[in-house]
Structure 1
Amino acid sequence: MKKSVLFFVFAIVVLCVARPAVATNAPLWMRYPAISPDGTAIVFSFRGNLYRVNTKGGAAVPLTLGASHDFMPVWSPDGKTIAFASDRHGNYDVFIMPSDGGPASRLTYHSAADFPSDFTPDGKAVIFSSSRVDAPDSRLFPTSRLPELYRVSVTGGTPKQFLTIPAEKTRFFRDGNRIIYQDKTGIEDQWRKHHISSVAHDLWVADLSKNAFRRLTTFPGEDRNPMLSKDEKIVYFLSERSGTFNVYRMPLDASAKPVQLTKFTGDPVRFLTKADSGTLCFGFKGEIYTMRPGQRAKKVTIRIQEDPAGTGDDLLNVGRATDFAVSPSGKEIAIVFRGDVFAVSVESGSTRQLTRTAGAERDVTFSPDGKAILYASERKGSVNIYQSKLDQPDEKYFFNATLFDESPVLETTKDSYMPRFSPDGKEVAFIEAKTTLKVLNLASGKVRTVLPGRYNFSYTDGDQWYDWSPDGKWLLVQYQNDTYFSTEMGLVPADGSKAPVNLTNSGFEDMQPIWMAKGSMMLWFSNRDGLHSLASTGSSQLDVYALFATKKAYDRFKLSKEEFELVKEAEKEAEKTKKSEKKKKGDKNEAKKKEKKEIKPISIDFNGLTERKVRLTEQSAFLSGAVVTPDAAKLIFMAKYEKKYNLYVTNLREHKTKVLAQLGSLTGGDLRLGPKGKYVFVLASGRVTRVDVNYGKT
């Protein structure tokens, strides 16, 4: 019996047998080192567990062991307690435990992530950062990326917010009224190097009793991780003033310029902490260093005894599919899983790995003849375009191919994303540098610009969109409105000869346009009708809209069910007559072959084009992928009306919507229509499922 469900989730079976502990004499990627107040011990995170080691080095003793991720250790002033963050109950919460080991006590229970940075000077409470709720009078932009500061008693209880301003790596002065911290004024990757912008971190001192704030640094780049000297007159911190993160010191009153204490190059110094004696501790290239006053930094030689936990067989889920494409025949799909490309048989599930590289592959697609798979890949210092091609002429599918060859399609110093074959397979369109739409002619090697970068603004990875027309003459694009920060649907000629024609011009978000119904319809998402934020950010409910290329297509779509049945009947009669005439003239099989090879040009009537618009969804929702069958009779879309995403179908003649398949996905996904529109392929929750369009069978 044939399998109708294509399920693609990889797992690894690990056979664990009893074996002695494994000694790691030169462990790397020891992170978040925190030196004790008396300078005798260091607690650090390694592979998600906390370890303690003497500052002179030696064997590290585990403080926590388990499947959870434990990190960000902080010492109490008396050195008897450790606070740390752990996700052992789902999200990150604050825990405390004895510094020499023992049971951990949970202090926070909120659904937001909580990260500790210090104890209060009396050791009775832990302060931590968390994105819960701003103070009522806060004027900050409401986003979870800008946290507030809280304190919670070491005996538990309800945490109390004491600073709504984002303050990270916060440390108390001894008087308990003042704190020193690094600010956070925008959204940026904390691991980004050489960052210079208006949202780079600076150091501040706040007097909580007077609600007074004083800025300590004004360097355009990064200043982070402040630590106070014992007399509270000197601040030690990390800065990129030398080109990479190093340790600096400066008077708290800014009476002198910062002095660089370490001279590391190439990689950044991270995770600065300090003992009461003045000994500094930090990480560099995954190892731990200490630095005594007046001396040079010294690496701490550490040994870790690792005990492989558990015995027997463990079935581990090692990831999910992130992208996929359906072959022209519909008999195999290509999937990106953990950064590599795989080919999978739709019927049997047989799988063949096509790439095995250190870089991540993405944006996978088939050639029109199904004999090549195109994808972008991180190699040679940039994202480039490659293809794998079947090597044997008599082989049709990648999942059981004996040989296939990979070759570069385009390698440049600029990143190239989202490669897509033209319908005739002679050209490849792609996005260069995240904003510019270009087309590569495979025969000549020449590249032309179709949509210049000035029409786009990239805020996150993969936020651009385009789609070839079925005849390869046009490209539907998502591009930036030049008067308001919103996206529009545009149409540009594939030869790059003209600027885009704005097809929506709505001022709302119009996104992810695709050609449907054999090129007679343009489909896209818009948030103009659903619940949405009037700011330029925030989630929005969406609807599916269609624009019709010709008045004939529009009029046909608007026919009632009864009118459409009469038209179909007349068309069947005409088709019979046409076949009869072809039979009289010659070989009908030969005629079919020629007809199949021919790419028919689509017709676009620009007169009144923007007025031939129809909202296809009956109700706004959170949408993720939509397609229309070739006969324009059914809309299939993934939507979340309540808690989870499911697959829905709308009969566009009868205006009736129902559940086509229960997906139960917490996150959205993507859809691909199979050949002839009989099946739709759905990526949801990391797996791909084939669904019968008519019956909903999977």
Structure 2
Amino acid sequence: HSSSIGDYAFNKDGSKVYYLAAFEKGYDLWVTEPRTRDTKILAKLGAGGGGLEISKDGKSLFTLKEGRLTKIDENGKSEPIGIAGEMELDAEAERAYILDHAYRQVVQKFYDPQIHGIDWKGFYTNYREFLPHLNNNYDFQELLSEFLGELNASHTGGRYSPSNPQGDETASLGLLYDERFPGPGLKVTEILAEGPFSKAASALKPGAILEKIDGIAIDNRTDWTALLNRKVRKNTLVTFRNTTDTKSLEAVVKPISLGEETGLMYARWVQRMKDEVHRLSGGTLGYVHVQGMNDGSFRDVFDEVLGENFDRQGLVVDTRFNGGGWLHDDLKTFLSGERYLDFAPQGNRLKDGEPMGRWTKPSCVLMSEGNYSDAFIFPYVYKQAGIGKTIGKPVPGTGTAVWWETQIDPTMVFGIPMVATIGRENRPTENLQLEPDINADLPYRDFLEGRDTQLAKAVEVLMQEVKGRK
């Protein structure tokens, strides 16, 4: 059976291989004898991962599961290993080391050996004087960010990510509400697709009033979000009343996390953009949003462009709000296809031809101030190659490859831009602002009221190009 393999270990003569494999729920300890091909499960662990070591005599195995050690003998009998230890942490000295380390790493790895001509050592000396006045990582991340910010480069700064597994976590019902509704209760304006209430059997309709959560009334005196605290993926009773109902109804749903809600809101926005492009172009143009510069996003782009948009005469490629990654060459290659061969079975020339895996029709790229990193490089190379028009607002020059480094305190991370990208200007693209071919604003009021003037301009420009080719 196929499974996800974790750590492994051989015994002395290689007659047995022990390994952690996730076949059902979590990782368990398995053993295989390569010579006989006999395989069996040795111990059920149900671990989320971990490590595996074998003793010198080969008679005992040691696994690390969620920070706890377990000893397992060759017959599969397991016993926990108790560990007790203390460490005296000098947090002030640790922060001083991290700042020293950041200073040295920039000297050794920053993409520009001249460090932009600044007095880097002088800045280091100055910022180090503030360390004795800090007593927490929240302030230290700000100091580290300010220090690295003196480089005037992208992909820098410090990040502090504290762990609080027992902290508050507000769940979401996957609903949008009328913020002006006076109450009591919550008035539903929209049910998010793929959310907890987005089911054919659900009785909840837009316009309904949520009255209770787990039997507790939603009134104007309390914060109703507290009723959803730590309810992610837990059965939750919601009492509501539709506008056409004379009595209240109840439904048991499993709320989602706010991160999952963000994903649903993103999908909602993308669908609205698709519908708007279809409306404005009369179905002539296709639309695709590149969420990130990564493999998953490229697969989505490939699927949508050569799937639902295959018959469109032009393509709006929206890269706004994209935080980067490393995908520019794949996108540039994909959008720069040129038709060189047609297919014609029995004399019937098809719409399909070669190249089959690339877009060969007109396209344009939407970009904005929110593009970052590789989401700068892509429109830059798209424009440099003359594939199509870039439309929107200027993009800051942030085209460097970064090394994000976790520190000895694993809650702290800082970045160093290590590799410059150089285009036809024969200079690093860092701090080289990319100007759009067509400058288009997206006023706050328009955005707030659901109008996307940048998208409308992209459709207008691309429609002119498509009509000019007919």
Same fold (TM over 0.5): no
> If each structure's helix is expressed as a fraction of its own residues, which one has the higher value?
2
Normalised by the length of structure 2, the TM-score is 0.36
Higher relative contact order (CA 8 A, sep 6+): 2
TM-score normalised by length of structure 1: 0.26
For the pair shown, which has the larger CA radius of gyration, 1 or 2? 1
